[in-house]
Amino acid sequence: MKYYKSERICKICKSTDNLVSETLSVCVNCIRKEPKKTEKYIIEAHKKSRSEFDLPPYPPRAKDGIKCKICVNECQIPVGKRGFCRLRKNENGKLINLVGKGAIVNWYYDNLPTNCVAGWVCPGCSDSGYPEYSILKGPEYGYKNLAVFFGACSFDCLFCQNWHFRYLAEKPTKIKTVKQLVDMVDIRTSCICYFGGDPTPQIAYAIRASKLALEKNKNRILRICWETNGSMRKSLLKKAIELSLESGGCIKFDLKTYNENLNKALTGVTNKRTLENFEYVASIIYFSVFLGSFLMQFTQTLSVSDTKLSVDLQILHILSDL
């Protein structure tokens, strides 16, 4: 498919007729159809991007390394080295979390209704979920979201809008405890949203903090929400789902692209785990989907590859940050 005449030339096909990435030096068609030929350009682009922040260029694959199983990368970390997210290190044959039970994280209050990508179905920004999960029948004016920004990520998005998280990952000094986070939840806080970076490398911290926050705020509304690339281990995702279902929060998957080769080019990582987890979440959540003025409620298992029915497309849009 031809888009426009580019001044840049693809290093593979020499074409100027397709979308040619200045950062990758190859066109979108070659990325999709010639992964072996474009691989070296993609690796070099990500290596350059990460070297500026002293981050490992790619997930380590040492045969004698210790495997970390938190995310899709499953780094096999050699002695004395760190994993892709830079938070875990092999010290004398033991896998060490360099931030202990804390996390590299910042947070701030965001008045509701906020610019949540799921705002049109979010109980804090719409009339959804009232009265069980929303304080007001409509946007929760006068209340706020505790936005929790994690300073690490399992992807390496070349065009990340929150790229400054890398400064936190480069020098992990802003380590905060679960208690410090939970203490920020006051009477006007009606939701906690984890994003970043991405929650995945530090998801255990987020789960512990969420459980404690809900325990300390029984008998009132406090939603747990996630904005994630969806690359975490399924057992950890299951705990995140349970917290959101219990509290009425939203789970938002950032689907960068459906094509795996293009996903690797943009993020440095496969999207297979993301799509598998997306399908898993969709298969266990009870949906209330508006089709025009008609409200259809149902429970069923969905496949991310089956988008023939218009209702499937509605569901994909609800769950994804597109």
Domains of the chain are: 103-319 (3.20.20)
Average pLDDT over residues 40-57: 93
Relative to beta strand 144-150, strand 88-91 is unpaired
Residue 304 pLDDT level (bands cut at 50, 70, 90): very low
- The residue with greater pLDDT, 185 or 115, is 185
**Stretch among 5-19, 56-70, 209-223 having the lowest mean pLDDT:** 5-19
Amino acid identity for residue 157 in this structure = C
- The residue with greater pLDDT, 319 or 41, is 41
Q: What is the pTM of this model?
A: 0.84
The rounded distance, in Å, linking the Cα atoms of 212 and 93 is 32
The rounded distance, in Å, linking the Cα atoms of 216 and 140 is 21
* 3-class secondary structure, 252: strand
Average pLDDT over residues 41-49: 95
> Would the pLDDT of 198 be above 60?
yes
CA angle, 167 then 171 then 176, to 5° = 95
**What's the pLDDT at 118?**
85
> Would the pLDDT of 183 be above 60?
yes
> Would the pLDDT of 163 be above 80?
yes
Amino acid identity for residue 15 in this structure = S
Longest dimension (CA), the chain: 64
> Would the pLDDT of 247 be above 50?
yes
**What's the pLDDT at 6?**
53
Tens of pLDDT, residue by residue over 62-81, are 999 999 999 999 999 999 99
**What's the pLDDT at 315?**
37
Average pLDDT over residues 287-311: 37
Q: Buried (b) or exposed (e) across 181-201, using 16+ Cβ within 10 A?
A: bbebbeeebbbbbbbbbbbbb
Average pLDDT over residues 252-273: 94
**What's the pLDDT at 172?**
65
Cis status, amide bond into 57, omega within 30 of 0 = no
The rounded distance, in Å, linking the Cα atoms of 290 and 293 is 7
**What's the pLDDT at 116?**
85
**What's the pLDDT at 303?**
43
**What's the pLDDT at 308?**
34
Q: Are 239 and 214 in contact (CB under 8 A)?
A: no
> Would the pLDDT of 292 be above 90?
no
Return mean pLDDT, the chain. 86
**What's the pLDDT at 320?**
34
Tens of pLDDT, residue by residue over 9-27, are 999 999 887 789 889 999 9
Helices (H), 229-271: 234-247, 260-267
**What's the pLDDT at 128?**
87
**What's the pLDDT at 112?**
94
- Of 165, 221, 220, the closest CA to residue 196 belongs to 165
Query: How many Cα atoms sit within 13 Å of 200 on the Cβ side?
Result: 29
The rounded distance, in Å, linking the Cα atoms of 133 and 190 is 9
The rounded distance, in Å, linking the Cα atoms of 236 and 6 is 44
> Would the pLDDT of 225 be above 90?
yes
The rounded distance, in Å, linking the Cα atoms of 62 and 80 is 12
**What's the pLDDT at 168?**
84
Q: Are 18 and 29 in contact (CB under 8 A)?
A: yes
